[in-house]
Structure 1
Amino acid sequence: MMDTLTLLTTLEAVLVGDTLTPLFTDGLRSFFRPDTLARIFIEGLGKAAIYFIIAIGLTLVFGLMGILNFAHGAFAMVGAYLGGILMVVGLSSGSGTFTRIAFFVVVVAVIFALLTAVGAALEIGLVRPIYDRTPMYQILLTFGVGLILEELARIIASARGIQPEPTWAAAQATIPTVLGTPSEILLNLFGARIRGFYLFAIVAGAILAAIVWAFLTKTLYGLYIRAGSEDPEMVEALGIDVRKAFTVVFGLGIGLAAVGGVFLMWDPTEGPSVLLNLDVLLYAFVVVVIGGLGSFKGTLVAAIIVGMADSFTTWVFARGIIDFSGLPEVTIFLLLVIALIVRPQGLYGVEEVGGH
């Protein structure tokens, strides 16, 4: 058995020996280089934009209806597959950059409209009958819907010769070269080799965030939704159909999840896959819980925090500083644990929100 002196000597060799110390110091030196900082920051914002698009739908549904939709990730997966199908079928190998981006925008609009309608129908047919039951019924129902969608996607993809996991390569290949390769702008400014896709995601996320914010704060229907999340009984007493608001919000939540899935279709670290169901669901819940259930501002801030943490830890692993592929996931869940300990209601949440 190894004695105490030998054990201490071994630990000293591991911690300050010839292997770890140079690797750590080189990594620390590399981190403060302008190209590294730019890469972590831009990629972090790009990831945050996609997380926000997905998580804001979950936030809207819980903020008004008090329902934690466990099928949220499955609809993002469906959006990724549908987006991939439309892109593969609608584009040819000779399609140019403008054509691919313009067609992508059309695909996003079509899938948002389609999945919003599906979400509204789901709320009317399945969710509405169990409003008066305990939350466990809602959790089991939505989780079951998510599992059914995942297995259907696996069966259909396999039958059509599409790999259900890890990713559908043909759909990812529809990304235009300008987005799938390092951005010339960032390369010239910082010397950073960052895919143009992340800049595209940042712009798209900012536009969608502005649209959702304007809908909630500048429209009459947005006022109904916010009032209904605070005091649904009073809103009903004023003659407003809260049930209709539930249907619209649930549909919008599903539609936004699907839009996030379409963006993940082009994400170099994701792509269409049945694995998106649980991956997206976990990240969305982490963002929503850290930000505060039902809080638009909290979701935005939490998405940025999670996106930056994901980008930084991905760089740490890629640099070889910590040889653990699950580092981003562990770090993000560590942030969740810290948030629950320090501020259980989230950064901008209140102690009780949501419900009907």
Structure 2
Amino acid sequence: MRRRNRFWWVVPFVIGVLLWGIWSVMFSSTPLKEGSIAPDFALTDSNGKQHRLSDYRGKYVVLMFYPKSFTPGCTAQNCAIRDAYDALSQYAVVLGISVDTPETQARFAAQHHLRHTLLADEKGEVARAYGVLTNAGFASRTTFVIGPDGKILKVFEKAGTSNHGEELLNYFKSLASNPASDEPVIAIGKKVPDFRLPNVLATNEKEREVRLYDIKGKKAIVIIFIATRCPISNDYNERMVELAQTYTPKGVQFLGINSNHIEPTEEVIDHAKKHGFPFPVLKDEGNRVADLYQAKVTPEVFLLDSNFVLRYHGRIDDSQNPARVTRRDLQEALDALLAGKEPPVTETRAFGCTIKRVPK
């Protein structure tokens, strides 16, 4: 009987090591690190619409790279996001990205009834920018959570498939209960975070959206969180109009933001037109900007200087009844700022109706 060579295992072992090495080279990636600025991009979705990451500044974004549509793991992963979408969309915008074509993404979304946006990174350029393009030509299964300020908060390397929706929900729940120390701080003397919101009073394409950091050449910016149904906010409608008419010619930009989920866009449009608001009125769907700015009531004012630094925060004045006003806090802060001085009072307690946020 022929004896078996005791070194029989060497050849299979060497072959295994070589295959593992080839696999590692072909399919490994080095994703961008947490804390990095997320690179902007423009990609087309399954419906032919172009999306820029900067379109979502001011919101949390889940950027989910996966290898290929219709493969088993990618199908399980996207279906997990579909099943968790109602809860997940309360926290973030969800964008799935692969190197597939828009047409393939459209078929994939239709076949599996996907509800999140699928983007086509056909040349792998965005995957390369995020450090997840493999030598095999497709993205590794990596998910980035991007904060409202455009920084990468969390990287899920080797993200889950059938459990990925649960992974993301657990992350956002922990984020809500334990806010990170590097989250944007709203404080006097600090630069406020950027945002981009639709302008419901837009009359042309240029006015369709307002991005805060795109406002140039203004001496000050007044952001007021407003409402259509709040009696206190409505008692200030005329005063807001008068302030805007007085200070806009002096180089001040006024912005109204409606974050109440119970007040639909059409209602916001009708209300703004009825009261003759001479400034953009922005709809904050999902109260993302209200959360970002920690706004609590309507009306609530944030006065910024030309560098987007918060200089005054609080009430418009000290009485809902205009006949009983004794302190015109916003007006006094504006006069001081325009004169190159510090506002006499930088913070007051805003009073009004609570912002009606989307239920968690």
More strand by percentage: 2
Larger of the two Rg values belongs to structure: 2
Q: TM-score, normalised by structure 2?
A: 0.24
Q: TM-score, normalised by structure 1?
A: 0.24
* Higher RCO (CA 8 Å, separation ≥ 6 residues): 1
More helix by percentage: 1
